[in-house]
Amino acid sequence: MNDSPGWATPGPASDGERPGAPADQSGDGTTQPPAQPAGDQKWSAQQPPPGQWSSPGTDAPGTPGQNAPQAPQGQGWGSYGQPYGQHPGGQPGAPYGGQYGHPGGPGQWGKPPAAKPGVIPLRPLGLGEILDGTVSTLRAHWRAVLSFSIVVAAVFQVILVLVQRYAANDIATFSPDERTTPSEALAVMGDAMLFYAFSYYAEILGLFLVTALLAPVVSAAVLGQKSSASSTLNALRPLWGRLLGLTLVLFAGAVAAGMLPMLPGILTGSPALIALGLPVGLVLLAWFYVVFLLAPPALMLERGSVGDALKRSAKLVKGSWWRVFGISLLTALIAKITAAVIVTPFAIVAMVVSPGGFAGFLDGSSTQNWTFLIITAIGSVIAAAVTLPMQTGVTSLLYIDQRIRREALDLELARAAGLDHYGTTATQPGGGPVTGG
C-alpha cells in the first residue's frame, strides 16, 4: 500500500500501517491525532479539527466553511472540503461553465459526446461502431442496398453457372475405385484450381463494384439523409466511365498479384514451382487488396480520376494496414459464415431433387446438372444480397473513419449534416470555453 499523503481518503487508514494513523479515541468519541516524530515531514503538525473533513460536493459537518479555504466563485478547487465544479451561483455540484462537473454529476469530465446525425458518431470509430453502422445502413436504406447488390450478384452468378456448366464440364471426374495416373490427377487439380480462382476473382470484382455503387448510400446514411436507387444512379451517372476503369484496373492488379508468383510453375507444368509460388501470391494479393481497398469509395465520394482514387487509398491505408486488414478479414469471415448458413438449405434441396441424388453429388456428376446449378445459384444470390452490402458497407465506413482520423472529416460531415457550430469554440456565461455542436 502506498503510504504517501493523499493515497487513501480521509478517515480510517486503509491498511492500518499508514504513518500518522489515529492511535486512540477520546472520551467524546473523536479521534485525536498522535504526536508527530521530530524530523518526520510527511504529515503536517497542524491537523484540521475533528469532523471538518468532507467529501467533494458536500459541506463539512459541524460549522461549514470555518477552517477550509474558500475558492473563488466559478472555480472548483478539486480538494477536500470544497465542492467540485462550483457554479457561479454558488450551488455545490453544479457544472462549471455549463459543461464540467464532479464525476457522476450533471456535467462529466472531458468533451461532450460526439454528434451522431446518422448511423455513426462523428469521431474515430471502433470495430463495433463500424459493424453497427453497417447494419444500421442496411436497415435504413434496404431498398437501395438490395437493388444494387441483388442485380450485381445475379449477373455474376449467371456467369459462374455458365462457366461451371460448360467450361468446367471438361474437368475430369473420377470415382475412388477408378485407377488414375498422377498426371491425370494433377490435370484435375489444375483445372479445379483455375475454376475456383476464377470464382474467387469474380467475387473480388463484385466486391469492388458494389463498394463503389453503395458508397453514396453509406455517405447519405452517415449524414442522416435518405437515399434511393434512382437518386444514387443519377449521382453516379457522370462517373460510370471512371468506375468501370477503376474496377478493371483493380481486377487486373489483383490477378497479377495473385498469379504472377505461380506463373513459372504454370508455364513449365511444374507442381513444385506452383506450390512454392502459391503462398507468395496469397501474400501479395492480400497486400494489394488492402492497400487499394478504399479506392472505390474514394472515387465515388471525391469524384477524382482513377489514379487519384488509387493514390488516396494508398495514402489513407499507410500506417494502418494491419488495422484495415484485420477489420476486413473479420468481416469476410462473418460474411462467409452467414453465406454458408443461407446456402446450405438450398444445397441440400438441390442434392435431393437432382438426378443421381446424394451419390451423384459425391462423384460430381450431379454438380453439372441444370437443376442442381439453378437451385444452388438461387441460394448464392440470396446469400450475396446479404453479405455483399455487409462487406462493402464496412469498407466505406473504413474510408470515412480513416479520413476522420487523418483529415478531421468529422467537421465537414457535421456541417454537411446541418450542425454549423459543431467543433467551434464558444463561451457560455459564467464559464470557460466549451466545444460541441
Residue 17 lies in a domain: no
* Cα–Cα nearest to 136, from 149, 126, 145: 145
Q: What is the mean pLDDT of residues 21-26?
A: 45
**pLDDT (0 to 100) of residue 301:** 92
Residue 419 lies in a domain: no
DSSP 8-class letter at 238: G
Helices (H) and strands (E) in the chain, counts: 13, 4
123 burial via Cβ count (<10 Å: 0-12, 13-18, 19+): middle
**pLDDT (0 to 100) of residue 308:** 95
**pLDDT (0 to 100) of residue 196:** 78
- What is the chain's mean pLDDT, rounded? 74
Alpha helices in 318-436 (DSSP H): 321-353, 357-363, 370-407, 409-416
Residue 46 lies in a domain: no
Residue 328 lies in a domain: yes
What residue numbers bound the domain in which 312 lies?
A: 127-409
Contact (CB, 8 A) for 206 and 388 = yes
Q: How much of the chain exceeds pLDDT 70, in percent?
A: 62
pLDDT tens, position by position, 36-66: 444 444 444 555 454 444 444 444 444 444 4
Q: Report the sign of the C-alpha dihedral through residues 203, 205, 210, 212, in that order.
A: positive
Residue 428 lies in a domain: no
pLDDT-derived band at 314 (thresholds 50, 70, 90) equals very high
How many separate domains does the chain show?
Answer: 1
**pLDDT (0 to 100) of residue 161:** 87
pLDDT tens, position by position, 251-287: 999 999 998 998 888 888 788 888 899 899 999 999 9
DSSP 8-class letter at 243: H
Residue 178 lies in a domain: yes
Note every long-range contact of 109-112, with CB atoms under 8 Å and residues 24 or more positions apart, other chains counting: 111/435, 111/436, 112/434, 112/435, 112/436
Whether this prediction's pTM lies above 0.75 is answered by no
| Distance separating alpha carbons of residues 14 and 4, to the nearest angstrom | 12
Residue 358 lies in a domain: yes
pLDDT-derived band at 355 (thresholds 50, 70, 90) equals confident
pLDDT tens, position by position, 151-184: 999 999 998 888 887 765 555 454 444 565 666 6
| Distance separating alpha carbons of residues 317 and 328, to the nearest angstrom | 12
Strands 31-32 and 425-427: unpaired
Considering only CA atoms, give the Rg of the chain: 33
**pLDDT (0 to 100) of residue 268:** 85
Residue 258 lies in a domain: yes
Contact (CB, 8 A) for 219 and 236 = no
| Distance separating alpha carbons of residues 431 and 413, to the nearest angstrom | 28
Contact (CB, 8 A) for 197 and 218 = no
Strands 433-435 and 31-32: unpaired
**pLDDT (0 to 100) of residue 202:** 87
What lies within 8 Å, CB to CB, of 349 at 6+ separation is 375
Pick the most confident of 1-15, 18-32, 292-306, 360-374: 292-306
Q: What is the DSSP string of 22-61?
A: --EE-TTSPEEPPPPPTT--SS-S-PPPTT----TTSPPS
